[in-house]
């Protein structure tokens, strides 16, 4: 997959990361997922005193257990836990007292979350609130929230709920000064569960056709290994001073290079995996699915990026003259509380979408006027 992006190898500050992690207990939520499991593997190499692995999927946790065993790393606790279980989460913090927390637990599938926005609100918003608040209460040294470029000018439930997560983390940074809070925003990860690369490969190996949503769609891509390396790099940049200490600095964005046309990615994969003439393999366009955009952005128009000491990690600041209500409504916490309470009642999707729109300025659901009549959708690929 490295050949698909044609980028130089990522270099990180190994010594500084080791100093941050070594002999400390580290918690990873969503530990069984693509990003979470890679985080655990890379963190294990820096010799933490304990890895606390939190995921509601016990099968994914067991696979991670075997992966860590193969590395001869044994200092970990498997915690098959739903992050929405407040009391259980609190007991984990009390028992293991993590000093670093990486929050990777999230629902990430765009079309599916358009159908079930109540579940996205509970997992991506309430879950982030609970884990981040617990990190502040227990005076965790560093809390890192995994975000996405879909949080910028969101047109889907996934992006809107992840944007809410960024705002929650930013506000808790002010509430709990003993903990360094940050979100790290980046684009698609090649090879992750449900992503475009394994779907394309399966379609190619079965003889096609390769199904692409739209001929003009582009996405930012990064290898999973380098994305996680840079998340760890961002974690140690948290304590760096900023030019203007009065401005919020709890958000980082990874340097993703140029956006990749999905058509070009498909063509490279056909050339790599298809042993016959590439012209003999069909390509079909299925149309954008609910909530999907032609292209993503890494920052809002009211944000600016500043360099850090690492060339591939940039600090994101809100421009000085921006009205705060462009970021969030004045009563954001109350709106969020009402939204979460509403989601617990599991009303029709359009009711949740309307409430989510009120919480996130700039978000207008395209799905609300196109709600499918059945709780099912045809999935082709995530682009």
| Residues catalogued as catalytic | 150
Sequence-ordered list of residues with C-beta below 8 angstroms from that of 357, at least 6 positions apart, any chain? 160, 363, 364, 365
The 8-class DSSP code of residue 121 comes to: I
HSE on the CB side for 169, CA within 13 Å? 30
Asked whether the beta carbons of 55 and 81 are under 8 A apart, the reply is yes
Asked whether the beta carbons of 114 and 367 are under 8 A apart, the reply is yes
State both tokens at 123.
């997992």
Asked whether the beta carbons of 235 and 14 are under 8 A apart, the reply is no
> Which among 197, 87, 29, 116 is positioned nearest to 371, based on CA atoms?
116
> Which among 225, 306, 314, 221 is positioned nearest to 268, based on CA atoms?
221
State both tokens at 121.
């609100």
End-to-end Cα spacing for the chain: 16
3-state secondary structure 167-235: HHHHHHHHHCCCCEEEEEEECEEECCCCEHHHHHHHHHHCCCCEEECCCCCEECEEEHHHHHHHHHHHH
């Amino acid at each position: 997959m490295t050949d698909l992006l044609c980028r130089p190898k990522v270099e990180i500050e190994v010594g500084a990361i080791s100093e941050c992690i070594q002999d400390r207990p580290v918690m990873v939520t969503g530990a069984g997922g693509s990003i979470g499991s890679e985080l655990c593997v890379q963190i294990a190499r820096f010799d933490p005193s304990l890895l606390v692995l939190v995921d509601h999927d016990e099968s994914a946790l067991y696979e991670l257990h075997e992966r860590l065993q193969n590395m001869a790393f044994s200092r970990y606790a498997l915690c098959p836990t739903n992050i929405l279980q407040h009391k259980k989460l609190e007991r984990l913090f009390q028992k293991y007292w993590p000093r670093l927390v990486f929050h990777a637990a999230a629902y990430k599938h765009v079309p599916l979350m358009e159908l079930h926005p109540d579940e996205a609100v509970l997992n991506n918003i309430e879950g982030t609130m609970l884990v981040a608040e617990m990190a502040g209460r227990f005076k965790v040294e560093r809390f890192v929230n995994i975000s996405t470029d879909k949080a910028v000018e969101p047109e889907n439930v996934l992006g809107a709920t992840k944007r809410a997560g960024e705002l929650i983390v930013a506000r808790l940074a002010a509430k709990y000064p003993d903990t360094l809070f940050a979100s790290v925003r980046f684009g698609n990860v090649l090879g992750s569960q449900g992503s475009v690369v394994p779907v394309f490969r399966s379609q190619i190996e079965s003889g096609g056709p390769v199904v692409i949503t739209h001929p003009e769609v582009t996405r930012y891509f990064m290898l999973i290994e380098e994305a996680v390396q840079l998340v760890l790099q961002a974690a140690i940049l948290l304590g760096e001073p900023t030019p203007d200490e009065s401005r919020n600095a709890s958000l980082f964005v990874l340097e993703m290079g140029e956006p990749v046309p999905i058509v070009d990615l498909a063509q490279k994969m056909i050339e790599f995996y298809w042993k016959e003439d590439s012209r003999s393999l069909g390509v079909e366009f299925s149309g954008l699915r609910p909530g999907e955009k032609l292209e993503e952005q890494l920052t809002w128009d009211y944000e600016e990026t500043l360099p850090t000491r690492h060339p591939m990690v940039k600090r994101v600041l809100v421009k000085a003259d921006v009205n705060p209500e462009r970021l969030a409504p004045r009563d954001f916490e109350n709106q969020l509380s009402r939204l979460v309470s509403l989601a617990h009642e599991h009303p029709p999707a359009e009711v949740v979408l309307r409430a989510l729109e009120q919480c996130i300025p700039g978000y207008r659901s395209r799905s609300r006027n196109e709600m499918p009549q059945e709780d099912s959708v045809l999935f082709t690929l995530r682009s």
